[in-house]
Structure formats: structure tokens, C-alpha cells
Homo-oligomer: A and B are copies of this chain.
Amino acid sequence: MIRLTLSEARTLAHSILLHNGFTADHAQAVTDTIVAGERDGCASHGLYRVLGCVSSLKAGKVVADARPEVIDQAPSIVRVDAAGGFSQLAFQAGLPLLQAKARSNGIAALAINRCVHFSALWVEIEQLAEAGLVALAFTPSHAWVAPAGGHQPVFGTNPIAFGWPRAGKHPYVFDFATSAIARGDIELHRRAGKAIPEGWGVDEHGQSSTDPNVVLDRGAMLTFGGHKGSALAAMVELIAGPLIGDLTSAESLAHADGSKSSPYHGELLIALDPKRFLGDAADQHLARAETVFESIEGQGARLPSQRRYAARARSLVEGVEIPEALYNDLKALLA
């Protein structure tokens, strides 16, 4: 393993992205997200993703110098046209107006369109919660997941993320796929020649299957939580697809046209300002929310982001470790 300080990790990612043709603002925005993932112990969303960013660019699947256009769509809606670039810069471009609208109107939405999306949603949600806002985010992906009772893919892994501000503490943040499991986990089982657990997928007749080949090639993944998870996956599909005028997971997969490229589609964020809901009583009511967290942690149960925050505390002191092979692959992109 190779150990890097966070500053070294940042410099490495940033210089690779710049060297391979991304504009400085895209390189910076993507680096911020990728280093946050590595820092928080999410290796699958960490430095490894730099490889994918560069290969997407070489394959012509992302616009390296896309200039996000911010559109003041309605008093409580911001739209950002990402113009085929990665989602990060589009989010950054829309963030100030989203915050301003949430603060003045109480609730506001940010619709990001035509972005290439590979990142977890918690990075964005955390920024909103750190700014004192309650936040939700949704995005479709590629159609890999069958509806409850079905056997053909309709939904993407369709994540839902949520953030809640906590005074003097890291915000309460969750971010999970509405699929039972990440597609990558099923692929790892296939590579290892191992059966997958019941509940992850079905065969082409809708029967439960533990064969990763069957699920990936002929059947479909399943949602978490049966018909309830399936209903939520449909909701994400609708509100972060047609509602914002962007692609569904099926349309995104069709657009990828057999390539392994990241979804090209939209994302919906909603921000709510507790101060606008509660006025002067905001602090008092947010303190009552702390009672909810105490009653969860007090019985030994975990809050969703605790593992990430613990990894972050370690990384800030010790830096991060990445496999030497990954380090060498990254270095090769600077040649």
C-alpha cells in the first residue's frame, strides 16, 4: 500500500485531471469529491475514480470543458445545464442560488441536467447540511433493477440521500441505493465465482437467483425492502428523470449504447431552511432533534454516517492508503 497525505492525494488527482485535459474548474470540483470519498473510507468512490474520469474523457463520454449554465427557473427552482460535463461543477455552480432560494422562500429545488454522474450524493448533501439546511437528493442511473414482482430492469440503483444540520457536530447524513446492493458487489461475486445471497437478484422469469451471471446477464437486480423499496425506486426515477426533463434509467442505459460509461442524466436536490420553518424557535426545535439521535446512539445503534466520519478523523491525521497498483496506474496518467 502507498500512504498519501490528503494534500498529496489532492495534488495527485488534480494534476492527473488537468494533464488529461479537464479545465481547472472541473479538475478542482472532481478532485474535491474524489478526495472526500478516499478520505471517508469509501475507496470505491475515491482515487480509483480518477481512472474512470480519464477513460470517460478519452472515450468521448464527458465534456472536459463544459461550462455549466445556471438558470433561474422559478422563484424556488434553480436549474443547471451541465452541458455534458461531470456533475460536480454543475452542483457548485447551482449551490449559491439554491441556498439563497431556500433561505428566502423556505424550500427550494435544484435540478441538474445533462450531467455525467459517478459520485455519491452525500458529498453534496453534506455541504447543504453544513450550511444549516435540511437536504434531499435523488438521481436515476442505468436500468439494471426490476420492480417488485417483475423480472426486467426498469430502475437504476436510484440513490436517495438526506442531510440534517447538527450544531457543533457533523450533520446526520445518509445516502443509499434503492437497489438491494451495488451492482459492483454482484460483479465482484461473479469475478470470484461465488454465489450471491438471496434477495439481490432474479432470473429472467422473476425467480430468485443466487447466480451472479444470471442476474447480471439475463435477469435483473432487485430493490431493497420489497415493494416499498420498489416504490421508492420508481419515485426517484420520476422526480429525478421526467420531472426535471431528463433521462430515465432506461434512456440513460440506451444512451450509453453498450459502453461502460457513467450515467448521463439529471439529479434533483431539495433544500429546506429550518429557520424559515421555525423562525426564532429554530434552535429549540433542532435541540429536540438531538434527543432523537441520542436515543438511537444511546442504545448502541449506529447513525448512518458514523463509519465515514470515523474514517475521516483518521485520514486527517494519518492520510490515506491506496494499493500500489492503483498508485502506479494513476502515475501513468501523468506521463
Q: Please give the residue numbers on chain A whose beta carbons come within 8 Å of chain B beta carbons, in ascending order.
A: 73-77, 79, 104-109, 111, 134, 146-152, 154, 160, 162, 164, 172, 174, 176, 178, 224-232, 234-235, 237-239, 241-245, 248, 250-251, 270, 272, 274, 276-278, 281, 285-286, 288-289, 291-292, 295-296, 299-302, 304
Q: How far is the CA of A286 from the CA of B251 in the complex (A)?
A: 14
Q: Are B248 and A107 in contact (CB under 8 A)?
A: no
Contact with A272, one of B229, B232, B243 (Cβ below 8 angstroms) = B243
11 A–B contacts, CB within 8 A, in A order: A75-B104, A107-B109, A149-B301, A150-B300, A164-B238, A172-B234, A174-B228, A225-B229, A243-B274, A243-B285, A250-B295
Q: Are B227 and A225 in contact (CB under 8 A)?
A: no
Quote the shortest CB–CB distance from A272 to chain B (angstroms). 7
Q: Are A107 and B224 in contact (CB under 8 A)?
A: no
Quote the shortest CB–CB distance from A333 to chain B (angstroms). 36
Provide the residues of chain B in CB contact with A250, threshold 8 Å: 291-292, 295
Contact with A105, one of B74, B176, B292 (Cβ below 8 angstroms) = B74
Q: Which residue of B lies closest to A235 (CB)?
A: B162
Q: Are B226 and A150 in contact (CB under 8 A)?
A: no
Provide the residues of chain B in CB contact with A174, threshold 8 Å: 228, 231, 234-235
Q: Are A270 and B107 in contact (CB under 8 A)?
A: yes
New A-B pairs, 4, CB < 8 Å, besides A134-B243, A225-B226:
A75-B104, A150-B301, A160-B232, A225-B228
Q: How far is the CA of A79 from the CA of B149 in the complex (A)?
A: 39
Quote the shortest CB–CB distance from A146 to chain B (angstroms). 8
Quote the shortest CB–CB distance from A88 to chain B (angstroms). 22
Provide the residues of chain B in CB contact with A146, threshold 8 Å: 299, 301
A-B residue pairs, 6 tightest by C-beta: A225-B225, A74-B106, A150-B301, A77-B106, A76-B105, A149-B301
Contact with A77, one of B107, B288, B300 (Cβ below 8 angstroms) = B107
Quote the shortest CB–CB distance from A309 to chain B (angstroms). 15
Q: How far is the CA of A106 from the CA of B243 in the complex (A)?
A: 11
Q: Are B106 and A304 in contact (CB under 8 A)?
A: no
Q: Are A231 and B304 in contact (CB under 8 A)?
A: yes
Q: Are B228 and A229 in contact (CB under 8 A)?
A: yes
Q: Which residue of B lies closest to A154 (CB)?
A: B295
Q: How far is the CA of A172 from the CA of B228 in the complex (A)?
A: 14
Contact with A302, one of B149, B276, B286 (Cβ below 8 angstroms) = B149
Contact with A224, one of B76, B105, B226, B296 (Cβ below 8 angstroms) = B226
